[in-house]
Amino acid sequence: MDSTIKGDGAIRRTSVYGSSIENTYAGVLSFMRRNYTRDLTGVDVVISGIPLDLATTFRSGARQGPAAVRAASVQLSELAPYPWGFNPFDDLAVIDYGDCWFDAHNPLTIAPSIVEHARTILASGAKMLTFGGDHFVTYPLLKAHVEKIGQPLSLIHFDAHCDTWADDEPASLNHGSMFYKAIKEGLIDPATSVQVGIRTWNDDFMGVNIIDAPWVHAHGAQATLEKILNIVGKCPTYLTFDIDCLDPAFAPGTGTPVPGGLSSAQALHIIRGMGPVNLVGMDVVEVSPAFDQSEITALAAAHIAADLLCVLRNQKIR
């Protein structure tokens, strides 16, 4: 008798490994149908969402991002991911932890709530792949990761914006200044960090290596990947992907779109080459479904996240 679980594996599967058979148009929408659970026993990677958009400087709506990315991931659960050709969940134990809870009506408590959410997960030894929410969420996530790792991290930051504009208000919520604060506080090492896809100006990039979008277009995705790998080396690295790194033609559903960005193909080529990087944490942020068209922004974010999981699977078994 066939014992394969058919339908709603996210709440019926008992093992954190393996997959179930699902109708892509139905069922519980965890990310890639992973178990919905807060049991961290034996888990390699924890998916969670942070539905915050109070730090946006233009269009709100990214609070709906985690739900949209989960919904867009249904197609990725149907077949072995391309171009990998394997089921990453045969070897990598991944769960969907649900969303970080915070009191949106008490803004000064939001960042500490995110830090505590991350601390709980990281204490288990699992890595985090987090969906925003606006890009501010990376700042408290970095705090928790640096606390766990015990040293400043290198940052691989995909974005149209450098997010290092000056902001010396310690309690401010601003998705354009959190890396200014992170550098000032010693959370990231700018000399071994890199920002990719930048196409907005700042008078002071604070020593971070910049690979702007025109450079990527002129030199190609492979040269960009090689440059990233040379910059971060073997340093413990946090990877953050703001979906507005992509051109609005590929990611219209975001809060601050900027023309001239990377294509989905360029971004995925680079992400798939992250195998040599010592990845300690990852996030994909700024998906804003209200401005999306046919879910193409959420779909791009889901593919980026799925490829990161495939990278981690290969790192585990090598």
Extents of the domains making up the chain: 9-317
Q: How far apart are CA 90 and CA 200, in angstroms?
A: 42
Q: Answer for the pair 55, 105: CB distance below 8 angstroms, yes or no.
A: no
Give me the torsion for CA of 142, 143, 144, 148, rounded to 10°.
Answer: 90
Annotated binding site for Mn(2+): 135, 159, 161, 163, 242, 244
Q: Which helix (H) or strand (E) element contains residue 35?
A: strand 35-36
> Residue 318: what pLDDT?
86
At the top level of CATH, the class of 9-317 is alpha beta
Spell out the per-residue pLDDT of the chain, length 318, in tens: 457 899 999 999 999 999 999 999 999 999 999 999 999 999 999 999 999 999 999 999 999 999 999 999 999 988 899 999 999 999 999 999 999 999 999 999 999 999 999 999 999 999 999 999 999 999 999 999 999 999 999 999 999 999 999 999 988 999 989 999 999 999 999 999 999 999 999 999 999 999 999 999 999 999 999 999 999 999 999 999 999 999 999 999 999 999 999 999 999 999 999 999 999 999 999 999 999 999 999 999 999 999 999 999 999 998
Annotated binding site: 135, 159, 161, 163, 242, 244
